[in-house]
Amino acid sequence: MTVIRDSSSITVDDGTVTVRGWVQDTRNMGGISFIVLRDRHGTVQLTLPKKKVDPDMFATITKLPRESVISVTGEVKASNQTELGLEIIPSSYVLESEAGTPLPMGVIDKVNVEMDTRLNNRFMDLRKPEIRAVFELKAMMVELIEEAVRENGFIQVYTPKINAAGAEGGAELFKIQYFDKPAFLAQSPQLYKQILMSTGLDRVFELGPAFRAEQSNTNRLVTEFISFDGEMSWIENEEEVMRMIETIIDHVLTGLKERGKKQLEILGKEITVPARPY
**What is each CA distance from 143 to 140, 159, 164, 250, in whole angstroms?**
5, 19, 31, 14
Measured CA to CA, the distance from residue 39 to residue 262 in angstroms comes to 15
Provide the pLDDT for residue 142. Answer: 98
Q: How many residues does the chain have?
A: 278
**pLDDT tens digits, residue range 43-75?**
999 999 999 999 999 999 999 999 999 999 999
Supply the DSSP symbol for 45.
E
The CATH number that domain 123-267 falls under is: 3.30.930.10
Calpha distance 264→266 (Å, rounded): 5
CATH 3.30.930.10 residue ranges of the chain are 123-267
Class in CATH terms, 2-97: mainly beta
How confident is the model over 227-239, as pLDDT tens digits?
999 999 999 999 9
Phi-psi region of 130 (alpha: psi -120 to 50; beta: other; left: phi over 0): alpha
pTM of the model: 0.88
pLDDT in tens, 69-115: 999 999 999 999 898 999 999 999 999 999 999 999 999 888 889 99
C-beta atoms surrounding 61 within 10 Å: 23
All CATH 2.40.50.140 domain ranges of the chain, comma separated, are 2-97
Q: CB-based burial of residue 162 (10 Å sphere; 0-12 exposed, 13-18 middle, 19+ buried)?
A: exposed
Selection from 166, 237, 154 nearest residue 203 by Cα: 154
